[in-house]
Amino acid sequence: MSKPDFLHPFARPGAEVGDFINIVRGEGACVFDDAGNRYVDALASLWYCAIGHGRAEMAEAIARQVEVLEAFHCFEMFTNGPADELCSKLAQLSPLGRTRVFLTDSGSEAVDTAIKLARIAFDLAGEADRHLVVGRRNAYHGVTYGGLSVMGIGPNATGWGPMVGGAGGEHMIDHDDLASAEALFSKFGEAVAAVIAEPVMGAGGVRPPAPGYLEGLRELCDEHGALLIFDEVVCAFGRLGRWWGADRFGVRPDLITFAKGVTSGYQPLGGVLVGERVLDLLEADDSFMLRTGHTYSGHPVTCIAALTNMEIIERESLLARADDIIGPFLAQRLSELLDDGLVSEVRGLAGIWAVEMIDEVSNFDVRRLLLESGVILRPIGATTIALCPPLVISEDELLAITSALESSIKALV
Ligand SMILES: Cc1ncc(COP(=O)(O)O)c(C=O)c1O
């Protein structure tokens, strides 16, 4: 055996060539490996594939754009039609009121950009000392240093050296615990630039907010003059039955990060919805230059993929499927597993769910058996299995997922 040249993300560098499953094709809610095995994709790949795999319409739209203009940068005075059209569409759907859109290539870059925008907004306001960025324990905000600094999954931050000063670290609060947020604000109040939170915590365990929690964070930010950032890299584009998690919970943040579902993964794209409070500061001095951006910010092929993806979501009414089909089905079937004592807790809503393993069952063993039964699910943390299927998934495929989950757990108790 030998090691692959591909040094895989979030994987053991010691893994051998034969340890990997080579996915070669996708169709709807399923993918296929090079041995011809079919798997139901129960996590929408990595929480992103809303419209399903293998859409010819997407391939055609992407190819058409490459033929006309594969790319040209958008720094300074250059722009392109797909980027302008996408940003207008996102601004129109934005829950923030007046909105402009910054584009990145990934969710991590979107989070780093949101942190930078929050800090520079206060710098422009003459409040450079207001630079603390507060994150939440267990939250995931990506792997670049900004997002890594404010995320709360300990092992992910271990060994990488010092994190970004004033971001995360001692400035962390707990999910669903407004008292911890109040304590932090009473200690650091006027120095807090922003609080970052996922409306539903995803990779940190699929944890929907307690009633009033997000509203409470909003109130605390308002009271202390801080900005509220919603990291919607997982929650947006239908996962919670709406375009935005902010819409679902009726709470208006100042900045929203997005990625993943914006293209369903057909092209890598992320970005930040920037609301009025930040915009007013960025726009106040006409000579101010926003010195951040990526080579591919506004890449026309990624923007065409996003526009086509959103068109498909609208045409096929996919937002409604999270609440009408996936949510009720998984709520029912997963609660049966709970009633039978096969799992110890069920959490989730709409298109995103998780089950907690009982003591004698390992989530990694369950994942292994599920793979053998043709279902890809993701173990998260030490005790959780997450479910987040493509929004196009059928009830038969949902049944295949929950039946395989049930038999895999039964085989281990
Ligand atoms: C909430 C959240 N923020 C940020 C990220 C990072 O996105 P990316 O992996 O595209 O950099 C993720 C990825 O899973 C995420 O779940």
Segment 164-192 shows an average pLDDT of 96
198 lines ligand 1 (CB under 6 A): yes
Ligand 1 pocket: which of 8, 43, 103, 111 to mutate (most atoms within 8 A of CB): 111
Q: Which atom of ligand 1 is nearest to the CA of 235?
A: 1
Calculate how far, in angstroms, residue 47's C-alpha sits from the geometric centre of ligand 1: 9
Asked whether residue 296 carries a pLDDT value surpassing 90, the answer given is yes
Please state, as a whole number, how many other Cβ atoms lie within 10 Å of the Cβ of residue 237.
Answer: 30
234 lines ligand 1 (CB under 6 A): yes
Phi and psi at residue 388, to the nearest 5°: -160, 65
Calculate how far, in angstroms, residue 114's C-alpha sits from the geometric centre of ligand 1: 13
SS3 294: coil
Asked whether residue 9 carries a pLDDT value surpassing 90, the answer given is yes
Asked whether residue 203 carries a pLDDT value surpassing 90, the answer given is yes
Asked whether residue 127 carries a pLDDT value surpassing 90, the answer given is yes
Ligand 1 pocket: which of 148, 200, 260, 266 to mutate (most atoms within 8 A of CB): 260
Residue 152: pLDDT band by 50, 70, 90 thresholds?
A: very high
| Residue whose C-alpha is closest to residue 180's, from 142, 150, 133, 135 | 135
Which pLDDT tens digit goes with each residue over 379-398?
Answer: 999 999 999 999 999 999 99
Calculate how far, in angstroms, residue 141's C-alpha sits from the geometric centre of ligand 1: 5
259 lines ligand 1 (CB under 6 A): yes
Exposed e or buried b per residue across 25-61, where buried means at least 16 C-beta atoms within 10 angstroms of its C-beta: ebebbbbbeeeeeebbbbbbbebbbbbbbebeebeeb
Q: Which atom of ligand 1 is nearest to the CA of 203?
A: 16
- The pLDDT mean for the chain works out to 98
278 lines ligand 1 (CB under 6 A): no
231 lines ligand 1 (CB under 6 A): yes
Residues of the chain with CATH 3.40.640.10: 60-315
Q: Which atom of ligand 1 is nearest to the CA of 109?
A: 11
pLDDT, position 1: 78
pLDDT, position 300: 98
d(C-alpha 108, C-alpha 304), whole Å? 21
Residues of the chain with CATH 3.90.1150.10: 17-54+317-412
pLDDT, position 189: 86
pTM of the model: 0.98
Calculate how far, in angstroms, residue 258's C-alpha sits from the geometric centre of ligand 1: 9
Q: Contact 303/78 with Cβ under 8 angstroms?
A: no
370 lines ligand 1 (CB under 6 A): no
Which pLDDT tens digit goes with each residue over 29-73?
Answer: 999 999 999 999 999 999 999 999 999 999 999 999 999 999 999
Whether domain 60-315 has CATH 3.40.50.740: no
Crossing angle of helices 178-188 and 213-224, in 10° steps, is 10
Domain spanning 17-54+317-412: CATH superfamily: Aspartate Aminotransferase, domain 1 (3.90.1150.10)
233 lines ligand 1 (CB under 6 A): yes
Segment 211-234 shows an average pLDDT of 98
308 lines ligand 1 (CB under 6 A): no
Asked whether residue 361 carries a pLDDT value surpassing 90, the answer given is yes
Structure tokens at 166: 């004033």
